[in-house]
Structure 1
């Protein structure tokens, strides 16, 4: 550019001095402006090197891996491990754009500065959130047409659950849950909309529920829950919905980053059914002997001594405190290492969880070690390869006990009587008899005395990925996956060695009549799964039109052989040695055959301006479970959405503009449901365990016909209809959604009731696709996120209501003699009825006196009410025949002691301020029933009784006198025996509680040290926290028990209360 100098200006003025005019003035001004502008442009065009720090606005945490880009160019850099960046900008007036997943993009003018510190705020809307929708496809939540919910790594990181499925509880609308016991390593039951166990997909590979539960959820990047027809792309196994897990990967152009997480937790028993103390137990024994006219086993003098509790031999023992009273640790440690260059990225982690049992002497509990790695590399501009490995080792070790080892131990708090003690003469070296059935004496529980059960499971999945860019927007992808799982179980049960102390000789004598020697077991099982997948992905935009498509083929094979050996040792302490044939009494080789499946799938997603959205999915699936001609099925699905808030009239409206996003959605899909066994279509015979025959003095193993082949059985079909709405308003601070859904199962397996077979044939009618069922419900969520100054806060909640309804039943009218008979046949047999609950007598109160019983017009016990006592229940005579029997039963419950509730909900709230943060997660449910009459049956079985039941039962005013009158309690007279079965143990509504509960599942308080303090020691993030799990509950559960348990005696292993202290560090 040519510039005007001051000398040239002076010459021009001299030449025009005599005829100076207005034009000359304009010329001078113009020249001056041009001169100034040229000089400025020359200065502004100079490039600048800008550096700075990218941090979280509220916590000051460095955002490692954030991207800083020069607006309008392709120039971009990634923030390094220290949170720093350096970038060349072409002009002093350039604008930088900083972005990070989960944070709002921020534009920062350079304005000639060479140092810029950028502070990002977490997003207040999830419209830009990327959702994994299956088979490697992703889409923004704003343009999502299906009913898909997501949970991010940030949300999971605040959970202290021992399992990944436990971390999911209460966070997703449409997910029902129940943690029915707290055994070390146990996981909650998770169902999508009460459909059943969902399909699990981890990094594109179908896995089982255990593989998901035992992942380290700190290695999970996101979880997507597919709840409607969008799951149809997964075909035959997707009828119960799909949970899609994506694991963490490294970030490109990021320096190596090391992460460390650790916590130490203390577990304590919570909300458990306490057994009665010795005084209550003795009173109950005396009352039982009084009522039943039994021979007295306790004199008045002995009774008084027990009530005083001061003399040796008459002091009660607290079995609850002895068995459950100790605290047990729960320890977690995890390291991860991640980073990347321009063409590679990597993520490696290893974690370990230890969960000790809270029961005394029960063993080492559960240990799990997780390993995960993801490595991806561009080997050329068009070719990308990747390898992922997910591995784990699970170890369970506990005392070897009869039956279910934990179940046996759980019963002992009631089977051990409070009048007896665990050790003979209180000497721990000599376990004593403390239960009516000696083998339940808890003093002998332990590795050395009762034996040991152990299980080791090793599982590894190796995934290989290849991605080829064929054309712009068109990719070919191949996936190969190999999973191997090996499980070994060892059990050595010892017979109980119990002792009796002889005070005279001061000797410890072995008790007589103890159970015989136990046995040893060993089980080996292997599982191999191979999955191969090839697909073409296409993604492109044509002006305002956006298109995604995928088409692929997948094959999967599995084989799971196992070997079982049983040995009966002659005495305790004999080791189980496989090379000693004489010790093995049973050897079972469960040969497994290879199962193969194949499918073809496609998915197309289209949107116009992000406003009109449509999606189609389809899958052609094959299964080996059916005869030729019935093995393949096609399962389509589709969804549409309309973001009306993107219309011009909406944006221009002052009223509607407060609603930032409003989307209507609808979807319909057909999924397959595999019914029957793999070889049910073949005729054949069953061998083994079918009885024996003696022929010529020799034992011959017999066989039995397997039944008629099911040649007419094929896929069941599940049709899912969903209508939903998503709303974001008030400047994206408030968001929510609502769904209505209906799922119809057709072609359910059943036999033809109008085809009769004589009993002598020994088998039943073959199954065909005859019946149907329906699940119908609603779900919703609402969330608020805002900030006041430097205080950021949030709260939100979700709920799910879902119930089963009995659909079509093949020739239902021909099965029952009347409508009443059909009703009494159960909810699963009556079309149009809710499929839950059990038949119960309807309690209408309690008898208050002998006179009321004598004058009662209804024969309730079928003996003229001779066995009824004051305090016993009264039942409604529904059919008016003057008798109480099963014809007077109705359904007044929900699912009883089983399944997930019909209504689940969760809500959370929290906030952060200058490095401090707090979060509380609540979960709850209603629409489930607990039956508690097992409380009474403990005492019936020569065991102790629940303290709650004893405190709320009917008692004699004088337990030594039958004629003293009664103090009527909530429950009948506390006695043993079944002479009052009709009025105490028959299923009835007074033993049932329709539950409603709310739990504070997680409470966490943390503090993040400011970066300007940490950078001096090379640490980018350091957070400490304290947390509590299963902290408190509000419930109408009788006795304050945990409402999630399913045992009607309340003796399940309780969900422990856990207090933890932990640290999260990044280098």
Structure 2
């Protein structure tokens, strides 16, 4: 099997598909080569462990032994017959023994040395020096598990040396040690490491003890922790060390593909944008908890300060009540661990490369499409063949606008330094982090800087009293020119390639362009102005915990946190000029852009407080009844305020508000950013388990929100969780056939969660001011508007969540499985009744709790970990499936049966497109004339290459009545990821693959981009239907057409090609090598002399390559369709981790 796989991989390496790009082929070859090396290594070790040989030579020769071994196995011997004569007398008898046992007999008897390399055995005669070095003794023995079964492949090492061996299929080993009192270290995955002295012993038999660390692992859950073995909910956990193996400026992106049910979509690589979506089980954005406090986001955390992530995906999240209906992510930052001061430095420098920049039309291509577009709209040729050839042959200069003002690569760097330590009375962790990320603007004016500072200190004041303080601060600064980056890219792609960058090629005069969108001006702050957005964040948390001395197991605690978030945004627009050269007068005509100059300044702040008071009780009775009780009170406040001012600048030399003119000045405040909210909650939880076998949990949260009127403010949200550890039953433990199963647990949960996701104070009537206004004379008078009808009955929406799960751990950690099926049913979702009201009412109807939906799915996680000699590897993967349907959607009454069927979304899946079935392209005018009418004009606007749709109701007309569900819509239903990781003698490799399936994108918006507004476009539109002869009549039945992917160019003309149809939908199926890291840890004996405890260097890459059938669009943000896009980036980093 292994050799077959090896040969298949070699064949793939040689014959990788030629249609792949050279870069992808190189990457795939490296990946396959790594896999091949792993297989070869595994093959060699596995063969040595499992092959048994019998030798029976009495008064024979050395050559007799060699022949018997080679005849029974695939081993080949290599030795010098002058040093080891073939007729060397030998007597040896071994039955079904490992090859190392047989060779150990030979080397001991005849002073030989051997080395096994795969199936090759090399023998040499020892020199006198070698004989002296090997003085000591030979130790033999067996290694067994607690059930008395032999442990195959256990590592047996002589302590303090690299001398070692592995056990055979019978658990036996033989090892020559240098000292008569050598200490052996026996290790095997899933078992605790064992050390034993060989003093006065030549035969050592060892029984390993199971390592219960995996099951004893503590996982952070709502308001506490639990052992992994006794978890009752669907909770996934990932450590900080695993997190940072994916390097990215956004912590969200570092989670991609690693946790079952968690999907992260990176929408942009723009510095400082943090434009990524994270969803749990396709249910929406989760609640973020950092060190026990709800936070608005986690994007700007320094990853080096994170200890662990816990993801609550089912009713276990109900204890958080408000905002927890989409799940909860709990982040714990690091604390002091070591007994001495430890300093850590993590730093990397790297570069970014745009992963999906489309090619723009060159001059000849643009002229061809412009001609076709004119002819297709009934016009004439705009350019002659001679004019086009002049550009095609390079006789006239042209401009590739996608390169003007942009670089191919951009630098980035990230550094952090931390200090931590721990004593009996105090533990501390402090971290300082810095991130610098540049954009692709050649000017360097698009960049982002971020500083992070965190301090966590815990002190044991008395035997029973502990206090803690966590301080966190962040300052981020984003610099960019005045226009959004995606608009600058879009403008550059649309410019006409025959226009020059500079008027008359004079760098002092930027060429006038349509819309004044000159890439150099828009990417250079000194020309067009700048935006500087600063964000300041401070978070402080103080806690007290007291163990009540007179009641065993009872503790009390209090926590107070304060968060302050401030945004300080500055916008300075400069007036500048673009020019056209007039050859007749040898002069330049100026065109003003962005006039007048102006300066604006805006501030927004947010303050949050949280107070928690809690009681915890934890006891074990009679060593079999384990009880934990939590009672907690919590209240939060959330206040927001903002202000903005703007003035015109007579002179742009000073970009400050005070330097502006008072005429036309503005001062505003965003009403949506002005709020004062509060929540209160009473929380309770009881955990009980019997012998860690039968597990039960009940929790509730009684939440109150200021968003609702009295009588509707409070909601009660209970949850029930249970689990049965079948593996702890006596009948299971006594079944030898199931001895390989270490943990088997069935769990189930049900709970009700809530959300107060309503606009503030909809239960109150009132007025909006200002609301429009009127000019009275020369003055503008602001108006007063009616706020709308009040609804005092609006209240929480509820989410009922159910989950059934199975956890299995086998072969002491060699294989782990986790599977869940789940569902969420939401009711009381907000909507407005579809009713007609008299215009004299003067207000719209209010929102009500009307709608409902249902989300169902499953998720699976698998993990395999093993050690073979010095090679340790892990293979893990996860896959999840989610789909939602509408249970009730408020709608208007239908006036016929078709509309009733069409518009009734109740009890239907919510993720499908309505549209037309694409039959084929039209290939001729005859076919068009005889087809059902689909343009309402007798098909007079159609031409070959246009889309032909199915006449679903067979009435001879293609209209709205022929639309029907044609395909899935929206985000992929299936999401998956898998990791390949390995370490070998200081080297480590980690590969993370991530992908999705069963998703679609509609590209009708993308199709509207060729020659938009009679400008330029993208080269992909050259793959289109067009006449073989330029200028031929498209309506002539005798005209010859050349087929393509897109229809013929018809920008601004009448067409049916933009209708939503099965032709305009593409599958978003992809597999992406999300990250790859290769590192090497320097041996400690080389660095400890200079005071370094650990030193590791690494190379890391992110978003390396993507395999997808999707054309022209990146699968992670397909809906953008080049309309609102700053490119996703590939990143490459070289870094170092140093511990002092």
Residue 191 of structure 1: aligned partner = 279
Per-residue CA deviations over 1:863-906 (Å, capped at 9, x if unaligned) read 1011100000001112222222222222324334xxx4322111
Residue 299 of structure 1: aligned partner = 384
Residue 289 of structure 2: aligned partner = 201
Q: Name the CA distance, whole Å, in 2 between partners of 1:561 and 1:189.
A: 26
Shift of 1:341: 1.4
DSSP 3-state at the match of 1:512:
strand
Q: Name the CA distance, whole Å, in 1 between partners of 2:210 and 2:474.
A: 34
Per-residue CA deviations over 1:934-953 (Å, capped at 9, x if unaligned) read 33322232232221222x21
Residue 569 of structure 1: aligned partner = 649
Higher relative contact order, chain-length normalized (CA < 8 Å, sep 6+)? 1
Change (3 A) 1:1050 1:683: closer
Residue 933 of structure 2: aligned partner = 859
Q: Name the CA distance, whole Å, in 1 between partners of 2:567 and 2:1028.
A: 59
Q: Name the CA distance, whole Å, in 2 between partners of 1:469 and 1:776.
A: 43
Q: 2:1062 aligns with which of 989, 992, 1012?
A: 989
Q: 2:343 aligns with which of 243, 248, 258?
A: 258
Per-residue CA deviations over 1:601-655 (Å, capped at 9, x if unaligned) read 1122111121111111111100001111111111100100011111111122222
TM-score, normalising length: structure 1 = 0.85
Per-residue CA deviations over 1:850-870 (Å, capped at 9, x if unaligned) read 1111222x1111110111000
Q: 1:247 aligns with which of 333, 347, 368?
A: 333
> Is residue 235–residue 311 contact of structure 2 (8 Å, CA) maintained in 1?
yes
Change (3 A) 1:921 1:412: same
> Is residue 887–residue 906 contact of structure 2 (8 Å, CA) maintained in 1?
yes
Q: Name the CA distance, whole Å, in 1 between partners of 2:156 and 2:433.
A: 29
Shift of 1:927: 2.9
> Is residue 190–residue 811 contact of structure 2 (8 Å, CA) maintained in 1?
no
> Is residue 58–residue 790 contact of structure 1 (8 Å, CA) maintained in 2?
no
> Is residue 1004–residue 1059 contact of structure 2 (8 Å, CA) maintained in 1?
no
Per-residue CA deviations over 1:275-311 (Å, capped at 9, x if unaligned) read 22222112112222333343543233212201211x2
Residue 144 of structure 1: aligned partner = 231
Q: 1:268 aligns with which of 349, 353, 366?
A: 353
> Is residue 611–residue 644 contact of structure 1 (8 Å, CA) maintained in 2?
yes
Residue 941 of structure 1: aligned partner = 1013
Query: Is residue 2:950 matched to residue 1:876?
Result: yes
1:461-860 to 2 correspondence within 5 Å? 461-471=539-549, 472-502=552-582, 507=587, 509-512=588-591, 514=593, 516-542=595-621, 543-570=623-650, 572-573=652-653, 575-578=655-658, 582=662, 585-590=665-670, 592-692=674-774, 694=776, 699-753=780-834, 756-809=836-889, 815-825=893-903, 829-856=904-931, 858-860=932-934
Q: Name the CA distance, whole Å, in 2 between partners of 1:105 and 1:809.
A: 58
Residue 337 of structure 1: aligned partner = 419
Change (3 A) 1:441 1:391: closer
Per-residue CA deviations over 1:219-253 (Å, capped at 9, x if unaligned) read 0100101111011110122111111110000026x
Q: Which runs of 5+ in 1 are unaligned?
A: 1-56, 63-91, 114-119
Q: Name the CA distance, whole Å, in 1 between partners of 2:810 and 2:861.
A: 14
Per-residue CA deviations over 1:404-457 (Å, capped at 9, x if unaligned) read x12321212322222223223444432213x43333554553011111011010
Q: Name the CA distance, whole Å, in 2 between partners of 1:575 and 1:991.
A: 48
Indicate the larger mover: 514-523 or 629-638.
Answer: 514-523
Q: Name the CA distance, whole Å, in 2 between partners of 1:504 and 1:794.
A: 74
DSSP 3-state at the match of 1:764:
coil
> Is residue 780–residue 799 contact of structure 1 (8 Å, CA) maintained in 2?
yes
Change (3 A) 1:488 1:357: same
DSSP 3-state at the match of 2:388:
helix
Per-residue CA deviations over 1:88-130 (Å, capped at 9, x if unaligned) read xxxx99999999xx996535457899xxxxxx99989843321
Query: Is residue 2:424 matched to residue 1:424?
Result: no
> Is residue 157–residue 186 contact of structure 2 (8 Å, CA) maintained in 1?
no
CA RMSD of aligned residues (A): 2.9
Q: Name the CA distance, whole Å, in 2 between partners of 1:563 and 1:104.
A: 62
1:418-457 to 2 correspondence within 5 Å? 418-433=497-512, 435-457=513-535
Q: Name the CA distance, whole Å, in 2 between partners of 1:456 and 1:426.
A: 38
Query: Is residue 2:266 matched to residue 1:179?
Result: yes
Shift of 1:260: 0.3
Change (3 A) 1:328 1:104: farther
Change (3 A) 1:503 1:144: same
TM-score, normalising length: structure 2 = 0.79
DSSP 3-state at the match of 1:728:
strand
Q: 1:916 aligns with which of 977, 984, 987?
A: 987
Shift of 1:572: 4.8
Q: Name the CA distance, whole Å, in 1 between partners of 2:991 and 2:1046.
A: 38
DSSP 3-state at the match of 2:998:
strand
Change (3 A) 1:327 1:697: closer
Q: Name the CA distance, whole Å, in 2 between partners of 1:124 and 1:1008.
A: 28
Residue 975 of structure 1: aligned partner = 1050
> Is residue 766–residue 787 contact of structure 2 (8 Å, CA) maintained in 1?
yes
Shift of 1:140: 1.2
Q: Name the CA distance, whole Å, in 1 between partners of 2:899 and 2:157.
A: 66
Q: Name the CA distance, whole Å, in 2 between partners of 1:412 and 1:406.
A: 10
Change (3 A) 1:1030 1:216: same
Indicate the larger mover: 146-155 or 490-499.
Answer: 490-499
1:382-393 to 2 correspondence within 5 Å? 382-393=464-475
Shift of 1:823: 4.0
> Is residue 265–residue 1116 contact of structure 2 (8 Å, CA) maintained in 1?
no
Q: Name the CA distance, whole Å, in 1 between partners of 2:539 and 2:571.
A: 28
> Is residue 599–residue 660 contact of structure 2 (8 Å, CA) maintained in 1?
no
Shift of 1:540: 1.9
DSSP 3-state at the match of 2:739:
helix
Change (3 A) 1:256 1:510: farther
Q: Name the CA distance, whole Å, in 1 between partners of 2:678 and 2:158.
A: 53
Change (3 A) 1:506 1:581: closer
DSSP 3-state at the match of 1:815:
coil
DSSP 3-state at the match of 2:769:
strand
Change (3 A) 1:868 1:1019: same
Change (3 A) 1:267 1:809: closer
Q: Name the CA distance, whole Å, in 1 between partners of 2:639 and 2:458.
A: 30
User: How many residue pairs get matched?
Assistant: 948
Residue 286 of structure 1: aligned partner = 371
Q: Name the CA distance, whole Å, in 1 between partners of 2:838 and 2:791.
A: 18
> Is residue 397–residue 454 contact of structure 1 (8 Å, CA) maintained in 2?
yes
> Is residue 1068–residue 1115 contact of structure 2 (8 Å, CA) maintained in 1?
no
Q: 1:132 aligns with which of 198, 204, 220?
A: 220
1:911-1060 to 2 correspondence within 5 Å? 911-938=982-1009, 939-950=1011-1022, 952-962=1023-1033, 964-980=1039-1055, 982=1056, 984-1039=1057-1112, 1041-1049=1114-1122, 1052-1060=1125-1133
Change (3 A) 1:571 1:698: closer
Q: 2:305 aligns with which of 219, 225, 231?
A: 219
